Amino acid sequence: MRAWARYLVCGVAGVALGLGATAYVLRNAALGNNIVIGPWATGRTFGSAAADPYTRAVVALKGLLALPAQEARYYTAARDSAGAPLEGRCRYRITGAALPAAWWSLTAYDPDGYLVPNAAGRYSVAGAAFPDSGKAGWTILLAPTAPPPTETAAWLPSGGIARVELTLRTYLPSDGGSGNPGADILPKITREAC
Amino acid sequence: MARWTGPLVTGALVAVATCYLAIAYTPDLLMGAAVRRVAAGGFNRFTHAPLATAASRQIVRPSPDLAYSACPYDISRGSLLIYAAPVAAPYWSLSIFDSRTNAVFVRNGDEARGKPFAVAVTHSGRSVPPGYQRVEVSGDRGIALVRILVADRTGFPRLDATRRATVCEQR
């Protein structure tokens, strides 16, 4: 093989490898991988000119049009508190404390970032679902089927899909978006059954 | 084998450069695609989307608790004028995103204090009408987005009617 052909082959392979690596890295990135708190990942530069190219690319792919930190904070989880992937066929108990924001909600998505289909047509649970917006603590059950009437936790359907991701939105954070709640404040995700 | 050393090193450098460029330009590509998708009904006018469901595909990670109204803009031929009307909701905001996905302007209902406000999305050097707050953006295209918290879905029809008082137009 001539020298120019060797360079051409390796150059084309380099382009393919670079594009493939980019697609792999971005598709497998969590939305907000700058800061990890327990099972939750977040970042402070969403929607801001200060975002680095990698964060900007991940947000464009997984959370385009996200608001900047002073307006809203986004916390995503693809794993439970023990580190295992969230599975739609399993039941998880998600327990949280008062969140320092004017309003919050927890939403379930598929890995492509779309809402999880379910017969109940329920896609999120907001703080308003709990007495005093959950200031005394709250519990959500992420599960494919509705819990029994005796269960006091709010139900968030997981649709039974293979992998589920959660996004916790806190709007108008009390600190103006300058910090993050600690691991003791952000919800704990415990797998109960599969 | 030595004949391949140079080509392999070159290939590795090309791979790294390609990865860097692809990451750098991913936001522009995805924002451009999102603008085109949202602009299916035309540029410089608001489209008021229904509440998101599992069938919604316009944007990724939509909040099912928010009503979205989007004005995809193209200011290559003139500034975009937005008149934002207040909405009786626990939270609402107008945010303006440029072609690089930056949120260059955000104002929420608390900051608006229940009053309407007017914004002109423009480039430097252009004049805007009196009474409009200038918001200069990079690139010609982007999206102005109104988010309204729908605390109770049964109350959505009333909010849906009032949010249509918010308008955008090119001038």
Q: Do B65 and A105 touch (CB under 8 A)?
A: yes
Residue from the list B12, B27, B110 with its beta carbon closest to the beta carbon of A57: B27
Q: Which of B101, B137, B147 to mutate to test the interface with A (most CBs of A within 10 A)?
A: B101
Question: Cβ contacts (< 8 Å) between B6 and chain A: which residues?
Answer: 6-7
Query: What are the tokens at A171?
Result: 């709007």
- Identify which of B79, B73, B123, B117 has the alpha carbon closest to the alpha carbon of residue B96: B73
Task: For residue range A33-84, list pLDDT tens digits in order.
Answer: 568 888 998 877 776 677 778 877 877 777 778 888 888 888 999 999 999 9
Q: Do A7 and B7 touch (CB under 8 A)?
A: yes
Measure Cα distances from A106 to A64, A75, A85, A87, B142 in Å.
18, 9, 17, 16, 28
For each of chain B's 171 residues, which pLDDT tens digit applies? Answer: 778 888 899 888 988 888 888 888 888 888 888 888 878 878 999 999 888 889 887 778 889 999 999 999 999 999 999 999 999 888 999 999 998 888 899 999 999 998 999 999 999 989 899 999 999 998 899 999 999 998 888 888 888 889 999 999 988
- A22 confidence band (pLDDT: 50, 70, 90): confident
Residue B39 confidence (pLDDT): 80
Which structural domains are found in chain A, ordered by start? 67-193 (2.60.120.600)
Residues 6+ apart with CB under 8 A from B125: none
- Estimate to the nearest angstrom the gap between the alpha carbon of A48 and the chain centroid: 19
Q: What is the pTM of this model?
A: 0.81
Where are the domains positioned within chain B? 39-170
- A180 confidence band (pLDDT: 50, 70, 90): confident
Distance CA B38, CA A54 (A): 25
Residues 6+ apart with CB under 8 A from A175: A100
Percent of chain A with pLDDT over 70: 92
- pLDDT for residue A184 is more than 70: no
Residue A32 confidence (pLDDT): 60
Task: For residue range A69-127, list pLDDT tens digits in order.
Answer: 888 888 999 999 999 999 999 999 999 988 888 889 999 999 888 999 999 989 999 98
Reported as type and span, the H/E element at residue B71 is strand B66-74
Place of tokens 């450098």: B13
Residue B119 confidence (pLDDT): 95
CB A72 within 8 A of CB B63: no
Measure Cα distances from A181 to A47, A58, A113, B112 in Å.
20, 22, 24, 27
CB A32 within 8 A of CB A66: no
Residue numbers of B between 88 and 117 with CB closer than 8 Å to A: 90-91, 93, 95, 97, 100-103, 106, 108, 110
Residue numbers of A between 3 and 62 with CB closer than 8 Å to B: 3, 6-7, 9-11, 13-15, 17-19, 21-22, 25-26, 31, 47-49, 53-54, 56-57, 59-62
Measure Cα distances from B121 to A45, A80, B171 in Å.
22, 43, 10
- Identify which of B83, B86, B51, B84 has the alpha carbon closest to the alpha carbon of residue B67: B51
Angle at the Cα of B62 from the Cα atoms of A154 and B109, rounded to 5 degrees: 90
CATH number for region B39-170:
2.60.40.1610
Higher-confidence position of A180 and A53:
A53
CB B100 within 8 A of CB B137: no
Whole-angstrom Cα Rg for chain B:
20
Angle at the Cα of B64 from the Cα atoms of A114 and A188, rounded to 5 degrees: 80
